[in-house]
Amino acid sequence: MAVEPGTTVRWLNTSKQGHSVTAYEDGLPDGAAYFASGGFDTEQAARDNWGSSSGGTMYEGQAFTHTFETLGEHPYFCIPHERAGMVGTVVVTENPDAVTES
């Protein structure tokens, strides 16, 4: 998805499975705040804590929000379903309408 800076994006788990929203730390633009469900500061911490009670799991009906302030591409994934291709990118741009969704 493409959004303007300052946009708060909300992910809602509408499935029966637990998911995560976990940023690819190395893929974030310089200066961008790290984001992950569970509030982790690093991708490694999010991965290490997956499966624990504080693991950042979003259960059915739970949401995670993040406000994007930095221009650029913000790739993220779902920890348990990364290998299944559950990944995405939030593109932060001054002109979201010009971005072609892939």
Q: Does 78 engage in binding with Cu ion (CB under 5 A)?
A: yes
CA distances from 75 to 32, 41, 60 (A): 12, 15, 23
Q: Least CB distance from residue 5 to Cu ion, whole Å? A: 27
Q: Least CB distance from residue 60 to Cu ion, whole Å? A: 12
Give yes or no for a contact between 21 and 79, defined as CB atoms under 8 angstroms apart. Answer: no
Give 82's Cβ-side CA count (13 Å radius): 13
Q: Pattern of binders to Cu ion over 10-39, x per CB under 5 A? A: ---------x--------------------
Number of chain residues interacting with Cu ion (CB under 5 A): 4
Q: Which is nearer to Cu ion, 32 or 78 (CB)?
A: 78
Phi-psi region of 36 (alpha: psi -120 to 50; beta: other; left: phi over 0): beta
Binding residue for Cu ion (CB under 5 A) from 2, 47, 73, 81?
81
Write out the residues near Cu ion by the rule CB under 5 A: 19, 78, 81, 86
